[in-house]
Amino acid sequence: AQSVTQLDSHVSVSEGTPVLLRCNYSSSYSPSLFWYVQHPNKGLQLLLKYTSAATLVKGINGFEAEFKKSETSFHLTKPSAHMSDAAEYFCVVSGSRTGFQKLVFGTGTRLLVSP
Amino acid sequence: EAGVAQSPRYKIIEKRQSVAFWCNPISGHATLYWYQQILGQGPKLLIQFQNNGVVDDSQLPKDRFSAERLKGVDSTLKIQPAKLEDSAVYLCASSLRTGSNTGELFFGEGSRLTVL
């Protein structure tokens, strides 16, 4: 069985300050991990993905995440927040013994960015 | 490249009525997914198709929900009869292929259902 836990339902930052969105995962298989972003009234968009290559993954819009197996974590970071980063962020785990990919989403973290 | 198309964007119905949502995936994408996203929660997979075959429907409430992808292209999700707890956004997504664990699903903007 697989699951992800997003440790914060809301994170508030000021524009220009660092962003940290926390995610812990559980997986019976070698997992693939992803972060998706959802802007209001928009479809979900892939930010970045880890698929057993480099543990530090760079994504779009300056975001990056580090896979830490020992801590079962995949936290999302950005050095400097922008107003346009305000959105809902979902941590996602995927893995399957059948070969058919099944994505399991976390409950989401809403990022609020103030001027 | 056209994205995943969904319709209708919004639907309001009374409980016990029926509703259908339509999805047209990105051209050439073999895998199609329907997710349910209840307010304040992450998306939950309802059903996954590989071409016109069902790969996973373990979380689909089959007593009231049904889905089909007859020609392996577009898909319809139906709810009959609807309950209050079915109020949610229904997301359709597609991917080029399954089994690769690439995780790159392309999502539509969703169909928001309100059941009164």
- Residues of A within 8 A of B4 (CB-CB) are 43
Give how far B115 is from chain A: nearest CA, Å: 19
Q: Is B42 on the interface with A (CB under 8 A)?
A: yes
d(CA A83, CA A15) in angstroms, rounded, equals 6
**Total domains in the fold of chain B:** 1
Q: Calculate how close chain A gets to B42, using CA atoms only, in Å.
A: 4
d(CA A73, CA A81): 22
Q: How confident is the model at residue A82 (pLDDT cuts 50, 70, 90)?
A: very high
Which residues does chain A have within 8 Å of residue B108's beta carbon, measured at their own beta carbons? 43
Interface test with A, best of B23, B90, B105 (most A CBs within 10 A): B105
Q: What confidence tier does A100 reach under pLDDT thresholds 50, 70, 90?
A: low
Look up residue A53 and give its DSSP letter.
S
Report pLDDT for A43: 85
Q: Which domain holds residue A36?
A: 3-114
Contacts of B24 (CB under 8 A, 6+ apart): B4, B5, B6, B73, B74
The CATH number covering residue A8 comes to 2.60.40.10
Q: What are A53's two structure tokens?
A: 């290559």
| Interchain CB distance below 8 Å, B55 and A100 | yes
Q: How far is A95 from chain B (nearest CA, A)?
A: 7
Give the number of domains in chain A: 1
| pLDDT band at B17; cut points 50, 70, 90 | very high
State residue A29's pLDDT score.
76
Name the E strands within A15-106.
19-21, 23-26, 32-38, 45-50, 56-58, 64-68, 73-78, 87-94, 103-105
pLDDT in tens, A24-75: 999 877 788 999 999 987 889 999 999 877 889 999 999 999 999 999 999 9
Confidence of residue B102 (pLDDT cuts 50, 70, 90): low
Per CB-CB distance under 8 Å, the chain B contacts of A43 are: 3-4, 91, 106-110
Q: Is B111 on the interface with A (CB under 8 A)?
A: no
The predicted structure's pLDDT at residue A16 = 97
User: What's the pLDDT at B71?
Assistant: 86
Strands B111-115 and B10-13: parallel
Residue B64: give its domain's CATH number: 2.60.40.10
Tell me what the pLDDT averaged over chain B comes to. 91
Average pLDDT over residues A81-88: 96
Distance CA B14, CA B88 (A): 14
Q: What pLDDT is attached to residue A31?
A: 83
pLDDT at A28: 78
Residues of chain A found within 8 Å of residue B100, distances taken between Cβ atoms: 101
Q: Residue B64 burial by CB count (10 A; 0-12/13-18/19+): exposed, middle or buried?
A: middle
Confidence grade of residue B99 (pLDDT, cut at 50, 70, 90): low
Q: Contact A107/B104, CB-based, under 8 Å?
A: no
B53 and A CB contact within 8 Å: no
Give the domain extent around B25.
Answer: 5-115
* Tens-digit pLDDT profile for residues B30-82: 899 999 999 988 999 999 998 889 988 999 999 999 999 988 899 999 999 99
**What is the pLDDT at residue A98?**
60
Check residue A78 and give its pLDDT.
Answer: 98
* Average of per-residue pLDDT values in chain A: 91
